[in-house]
């Protein structure tokens, strides 16, 4: 996986995966259809991921997750990616309690995170922007087949 794995942040002023997700949640089982499962969101927030989580993370993210996926694993990979006209970042709190971050592993300047052998459980997804005062429309794609 081309990402950064970091332990939970040590600050109370930052993202909080225990909050209700802003754009909803979904329960998916391996082999889900349609694939990808797309969610329209607005990326960004007031928290600098590099300060709130780890210096290797990028972008400004919200306090609450943008979206939550409860996933039941099988033999497929699990891929989170974002498509947007603005440069976005991706931060996921995985079922193991670690934070995973990406900036440009997807197509163009889009972020993507891939688990080749994903664990079952809760994935809390944050989509960031490069400015704390801006939010941008974006499409979050959850797939077992491809990255956006």
User: Domains in the chain, please, with CATH?
Assistant: 4-143 (2.60.120.380)
Closest listed residue to residue 84, CA positions, set 104, 113, 62: 104
- Which of 112, 67, 69, 114 has the alpha carbon at shortest distance from 89? 112
How many CB atoms within 10 Å of residue 109?
Answer: 14
Neighbours of 97 (CB within 10 A): 11
Amino acid 117: pLDDT: 97
| pLDDT of res. 10 | 46
57, 48 in Cβ contact below 8 A?
no
Q: What is the pTM of this model?
A: 0.91
pLDDT digits (tens, 9 = 90+) for 31-88: 999 999 999 999 999 999 999 999 999 999 999 999 999 999 999 999 999 999 989 9
Give 108 or 95, the one with higher predicted confidence.
Answer: 95
For residue 11, is pLDDT > 70? no
Tokens of 78: 């699990």
Per the model's pLDDT, the better-predicted residue between 140 and 1 turns out to be: 140
What does the pLDDT read at residue 2?
Answer: 42
Res. 5 pLDDT band, cuts 50 70 90: low
Q: Of 9-13, 28-32, 90-94, where does mean pLDDT reach its minimum?
A: 9-13
């Amino acid at each position: 996986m081309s990402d950064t794995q970091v332990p939970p942040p040590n600050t109370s002023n930052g993202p909080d995966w225990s909050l209700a997700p802003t754009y909803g949640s979904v329960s998916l089982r391996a082999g889900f259809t349609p694939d990808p499962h797309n969610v329209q969101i607005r990326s960004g927030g007031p928290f600098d991921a590099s300060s709130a989580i780890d210096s290797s993370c990028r972008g400004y993210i919200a306090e609450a997750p943008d979206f939550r996926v409860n996933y039941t694993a099988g033999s497929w990979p699990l891929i989170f990616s974002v498509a947007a006209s603005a440069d976005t970042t991706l931060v996921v709190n995985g079922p193991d309690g670690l934070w995973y971050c990406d900036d440009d592993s997807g197509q163009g300047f889009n972020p993507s995170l891939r688990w080749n052998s994903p664990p079952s459980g809760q994935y809390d997804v944050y989509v960031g922007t490069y400015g704390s005062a801006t939010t941008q429309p974006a499409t979050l794609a959850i797939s077992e087949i491809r990255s956006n």
